[in-house]
């Protein structure tokens, strides 16, 4: 369970990027976070991986106030939460397999186990045959699917996707959204932040609309308005 309680974020001491956000997201939900550029979507996402902390209010994940997580514990928090971004953030000098394996290597997982786990997540994203390819040898859509495989490697309970389709054409965008959907169906909470309303219309799950740092609408899957 994710809970934002009266969360306000000010940058540089005055600009209000998030304005008194109250929000609950239950385990297993698929939530689309929409709104124009500058609405505060990325700031909200960053709160969950402790890249930013609230100026006031609390962000609570499974009864833990994230502001109280010690710096040394942040890597553990980030294993519970997989994140993907518009620009993929793959390492160009590593193959697709190595990009996915890297997170396990630094955690000291034995090589055999790494191989099994990496092949499994490459299977989930439909790229079992591309493990030996370098990022430059992959299409944009494939790169994002490798980034999704990497985000899945620690079997996170939450996947955060911040504008994951921002660099993709319509067909590849749709593939990525379908994949996020599939990941949600196997039990992962998914939060998809995007300014692209078209993409969200294909999902038809809970949609939270943000403007100027506020939640202006919160519509559940069956069309009911929470806000």
Ligand X SMILES: Nc1ncnc2c1ncn2[C@@H]1O[C@H](COP(=O)(O)OP(=O)(O)O)[C@@H](O)[C@H]1O
Q: Which helix (H) or strand (E) holds 17?
A: strand 15-25
To Mg ion, the closest distance from the beta carbon of 165 in angstroms equals 12
Q: How far apart are CA 34 and CA 210, in angstroms?
A: 6
| Interaction between residue 165 and Mg ion (CB under 5 A) | no
* Contact status, residue 74 vs residue 50, Cβ threshold 8 Å: yes
Spatial CB neighbours of 224, under 8 Å, sequence gap ≥ 6? none
Q: Which is nearer to Mg ion, 114 or 158 (CB)?
A: 158
* Contact status, residue 76 vs residue 66, Cβ threshold 8 Å: no
| Interaction between residue 164 and ligand X (CB under 6 A) | no
Residue selected from 9, 34, 42, 117 as contacting Mg ion according to rule CB under 5 A: 42
**% helix, strand, coil for the chain, step of 5:** 35, 30, 35
Can you spell out the DSSP letters for 39-98? SSHHHHHHHHTTSS--SEEEEEETTEEGGGS-GGGHHHHHHHEEEEETT----TTS-HHH
- Residue 203 binds which entry of ligand X, Mg ion, none, with Cβ cut-offs from 5 to 8 Å by kind? none
| Interaction between residue 166 and ligand X (CB under 6 A) | no
The site string for Mg ion over 43-82 (x = CB under 5 A, - otherwise) reads: ----------------------------------------
To ligand X, the closest distance from the beta carbon of 35 in angstroms equals 6
| Interaction between residue 39 and ligand X (CB under 6 A) | yes
Q: Which is nearer to ligand X, 52 or 117 (CB)?
A: 52
Residue selected from 2, 4, 32, 35 as contacting ligand X according to rule CB under 6 A: 35
Residue selected from 4, 25, 30, 42 as contacting ligand X according to rule CB under 6 A: 42
């Amino acid at each position: 369970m994710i809970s934002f309680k009266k969360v306000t974020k000010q940058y540089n001491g005055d600009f209000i990027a998030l304005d008194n956000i109250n929000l609950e997201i239950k385990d297993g939900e698929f939530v689309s976070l929409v709104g124009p550029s500058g609405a505060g979507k990325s700031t909200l996402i960053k709160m969950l991986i402790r890249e930013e902390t609230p100026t006031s209010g609390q962000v609570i994940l499974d009864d833990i106030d994230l502001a109280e997580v010690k710096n040394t514990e942040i890597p553990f928090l980030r294993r519970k939460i997989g994140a993907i971004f518009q620009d993929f953030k793959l390492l160009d000098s590593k193959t697709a397999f190595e990009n996915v394996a890297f997170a396990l290597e630094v955690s000291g997982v034995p090589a055999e186990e790494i191989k099994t786990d990496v092949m499994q997540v490459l299977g989930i994203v439909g790229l079992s045959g591309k493990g030996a390819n370098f990022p430059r040898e992959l299409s944009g859509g494939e790169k994002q699917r490798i980034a999704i495989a990497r985000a899945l490697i620690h079997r996170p309970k939450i996947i955060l996707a911040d504008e994951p389709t921002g660099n993709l054409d319509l067909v590849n965008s749709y593939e990525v959204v379908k994949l996020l959907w599939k990941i949600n169906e196997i039990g992962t909470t998914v939060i998809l932040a995007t300014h692209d309303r078209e993409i969200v219309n294909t999902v038809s799950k809970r949609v939270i609309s943000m403007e100027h740092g506020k939640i202006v609408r919160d519509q559940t899957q069956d069309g009911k308005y929470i806000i």
